[in-house]
Amino acid sequence: MAAREDLEEGIRFFKIRRWDKALEEFLKINASVFETSGAVELAYYLGLCYAKLERYDDALLYLEQVVTVAPDPLRVYQCRLTLAYIYVITGRSKLAEFELGRLVKGGYESIQIYTTLAYAAWSQKQFQKAVDYYEKALGMDKNNATALNGLGYILADSDIDIPRGLKLCRRAVDRQPHSAAYLDSLGWAHFKNGDTGEARIWLRRALEIAPQRKEIKRHMKILVGDG
């Protein structure tokens, strides 16, 4: 009974985005007191908490358990997406593609799947493949900010279609004007288009929001001739 109460309290903290407090509650629980379904639920929330706290190796341990034994297809879907995201940002893009490929073969399609596949392709410098995935995402929602920004950045950065890239980056910023990543993309697209004055404006705004982000600082250094 106590274990179930701790689990419910952890879920309550999780729902209000108190990842640290949720994790604290979950770690009190001895998974062996649960039947299989309860143990899977605990592993699911532990994995998501660790992912939110950017403790990715711990997250992988639990999320991989869930996709192996969970009976709920929607829960498996979410965990595979989270696994793919972790694999991408930790430099394991081929593993990300494997997880997402499993979802696509299983009949799942979503904007998130295609944008993550696009990012994985981009990280491997497969630019046209990334463009194709972002186009698929925009085919599902032409105003999706993640896809607008990702496609715009690649088109501008790789010189595939700088004018279109600039327009897409501007649309992404219009939708989320306080996103440092989107402001950075717009500034960089202006730079690639030869608009150094505009580039400086947008990159400065990005730096004000995220002064420690390496990519933004790299772009600004190049802009001022120090890159």
Q: Does the pLDDT at position 193 exceed 80? A: yes
- Per the domain annotation, does 59 fall within a domain? no
SS3 assignment for 62-107: HHHHHHHHCCCHHHHHHHHHHHHHHHHHCCCHHHHHHHHHHHHHCC
- Per the domain annotation, does 208 fall within a domain? yes
- Residue 227, pLDDT score: 53
Distance, in Å, from the CA atom of 130 to the CA atom of 124, rounded to the nearest integer, reads 9
Question: Is the pLDDT higher at 75 or at 161?
Answer: 161
- Per the domain annotation, does 216 fall within a domain? yes
If pLDDT is split at 50, 70 and 90, which confidence band does 205 have? Answer: very high
- Per the domain annotation, does 2 fall within a domain? no
Assign residue 213 the CATH number of its domain.
1.25.40.10
Tally of domains in the chain: 1
Q: Which domain holds residue 207?
A: 143-227
Q: Does the pLDDT at position 110 exceed 80? A: yes
- Per the domain annotation, does 155 fall within a domain? yes
Q: Report the chain's mean pLDDT, rounded to a whole number.
A: 92
Considering the chain, what percentage of its residues have pLDDT values greater than 90?
69
pTM: 0.80
**184: which residues sit within 8 A by CB, 6+ positions away?**
202, 203, 206, 213, 215, 216, 219
Length of the chain in terms of residues written: 227
If pLDDT is split at 50, 70 and 90, which confidence band does 177 have? Answer: very high
Token pair, residue 226, equals 């120090």
Q: What pLDDT, in 10s, does the model give residues 54-72?
A: 999 999 999 998 888 877 8
Distance, in Å, from the CA atom of 23 to the CA atom of 192, rounded to the nearest integer, reads 44
Token pair, residue 17, equals 């985005």
- Residue 172, pLDDT score: 98
- Per the domain annotation, does 190 fall within a domain? yes
